[in-house]
Amino acid sequence: TAAMGPARVSVLLPTYNERDNLPLVVWLLARTFSDSGIDFEIIIIDDGSPDGTQEIAQQLEKIYGSDKIVRKLFLFPSGTAYIHGMKYATGNFIVIMDADLSHHVRLDFMYYGKQKEGNFDIVSGTRYKGNGGVHGWDLKRKLISRGANFLTQVLLRPGASDLTGSFRLYRKEVLQKLMEKCVSKGYVFQMEMIVRARQLGYTIGEVPISFVDRVYGESKLGGNEIVSFLKGLLTLFATT
Amino acid sequence: LFPFSPLSPSPLSPSPLTPRGLSHPFSPQAAMTKLGQWLCGLALLGSAWAALALAPPGLQPPAPLRQALLPLPVYLLVAFGCYSLATVGYRLATFNDCEEAAAELQEHIRAARADLRRRGLRL
């Protein structure tokens, strides 16, 4: 299906304790989209944050209008917020990203541009190619990231250079189809979506992104995360 | 593996004649898991190696060939290990540090806060 008339992008933003980052992310998104003349909506799916995130979201809805900001409260196990948020998305393209400012939001319109350029089903942000990269990472974290990615490439041959960065644009029907087929939780779910997408023959374009370390809040990369990553990787290896 | 050109229309739903999970009639790999592919590959190579290197005296290939074949699996493993280290090392060394992006983000944050305050956001 070629570009089908005026497009609208729905951004799915799962949040937990993002009262500081949320207004900044929303502002950046709104500015990026209006600068490029793209119709959009932002769906904020909150996991019952105790820090006042929902209240901030309410204020943002007043500022930007309820056609642009959609608030949902959903107490979910990690990774399934998107499924819930999808039901309310009215756009024909869906962007999935984190609300913690780690993705350089300025690149959203590049995504859309890339999608139009190649008519891709999925556009995925990559930290590992082109001028993509990271900021605020020490050597250990970079090594783990590259090592894990290498292992992923060898075992899964996914056809995309970055499986765990979670900044992607999907055609709505593609995302719906993938969500039906994917069974993992958390970020392994993100990995599984790309693997399944390749199996189903969907086209994937890549755009370099800058992953700036959390401005507020803490990033987690401890032994637990590594173990659960390996478990997820091996599960995908054995089941896809 | 995926003879799929980005310019052709994407098959959003497989035809009713195509079994689920096999959206490409020309890629049987789509039906097998990665683990399955590895096991098949290893079984093939392993049996070829065993047939040649561990053959009974009557069917042995010439001595120099046997001498090269016997340690081959270990050699390949070591070679792969070296390749892995070199690749990860290179990628680690060339991992971009996005100074500009970080600086730009800080600027955007300042602008965002000022603008949001103006528009009535109370933090």
- C-alpha to C-alpha distance for A207 and B41, rounded to whole angstroms: 33
> According to the model, what pLDDT value does residue A219 have?
60
On whether residue A1 sits in a domain, the answer given is no
Q: Residue B81 belongs to what H/E stretch?
A: helix B72-93
**Residue B42, beta-bridge partner list:** none
- C-alpha to C-alpha distance for A231 and B14, rounded to whole angstroms: 31
Say if the Cβ atoms of A132 and B21 lie within 8 Å. no
Structural domain count of chain A: 1
Interface size, chain A vs chain B, as Cβ–Cβ contacts under 8 Å: 131
Q: Give A214's contacts in chain B (Cβ within 8 Å).
A: none
On whether residue A80 sits in a domain, the answer given is yes
- C-alpha to C-alpha distance for A119 and A114, rounded to whole angstroms: 8
- C-alpha to C-alpha distance for A221 and A226, rounded to whole angstroms: 7
On whether residue A84 sits in a domain, the answer given is yes
- C-alpha to C-alpha distance for A142 and B92, rounded to whole angstroms: 6
Does B26 contact chain A (CB < 8 Å)? no
On whether residue A29 sits in a domain, the answer given is yes
Residue of B nearest to A240 (CA): B33
- State the CATH number of the domain containing residue A63: 3.90.550.10
- Pick from A174, A199, A202, A211 the residue to mutate for testing the B interface (most B CBs within 10 Å): A199
- C-alpha to C-alpha distance for A45 and A72, rounded to whole angstroms: 5
Per the CB < 8 A criterion, the answer to whether A91 and A9 are in contact is yes
- C-alpha to C-alpha distance for A29 and A38, rounded to whole angstroms: 11
Taking only the tens place, the pLDDT of each residue in B15-62 is: 333 333 344 444 545 578 999 999 999 999 999 998 888 777 777 777
To the nearest whole angstrom, how far is the Cα of A37 from the nearest Cα of chain B?
19
On whether residue A3 sits in a domain, the answer given is no
Window 23-82 of A: residues touching B by CB (8 A cutoff) are 23-24, 27-28, 56, 59-60, 62-63
Say if the Cβ atoms of A56 and B2 lie within 8 Å. no
Taking only the tens place, the pLDDT of each residue in A21-56 is: 899 999 988 988 888 888 899 999 988 888 889 999
pLDDT: which is higher, A182 or A197: A197
The size of chain B, in residues, is 123
Taking only the tens place, the pLDDT of each residue in A66-98 is: 888 888 887 766 657 888 888 899 999 999 888
On whether residue A4 sits in a domain, the answer given is no
Beta strand A122-126 pairing with A93-96: unpaired
Average pLDDT in the B116-123 region? Answer: 87
Domain around A220: 9-239
Does A118 contact chain B (CB < 8 Å)? yes
- Pick from B8, B98, B116 the residue to mutate for testing the A interface (most A CBs within 10 Å): B98
On whether residue A149 sits in a domain, the answer given is yes
Taking only the tens place, the pLDDT of each residue in B50-107 is: 888 877 777 777 777 888 888 999 999 999 999 999 999 999 999 999 888 888 888 8
The string over A182-197, giving b where at least 16 C-beta atoms fall within 10 Å of a residue's C-beta and e elsewhere, is bebeebbbbbbbbbbb
Which DSSP string corresponds to A196-231?
HHHHTT--EEEEE-EEE--SSS----SHHHHHHHHH
Which DSSP string corresponds to chain A?
----SS-EEEEEEEESS-TTHHHHHHHHHHHHHHHTT-EEEEEEEE---TTSHHHHHHHHHHHH-TTTEEEEE----TT-HHHHHHTT--SSEEEE--SSS-B-GGGHHHHHHHHHHHT-SEEEEESSSTT-EEES--HHHHHHHHHHHHHHHHHH--SSS-SS---EEEEHHHHHHHHHH----HHHHHHHHHHHHHHTT--EEEEE-EEE--SSS----SHHHHHHHHHHHHHHHHH-
Does B35 contact chain A (CB < 8 Å)? yes
Window 149-188 of A: residues touching B by CB (8 A cutoff) are 149-150, 154-157, 159, 173-174, 177
Q: What is the ipTM of this complex?
A: 0.82
On whether residue A179 sits in a domain, the answer given is yes
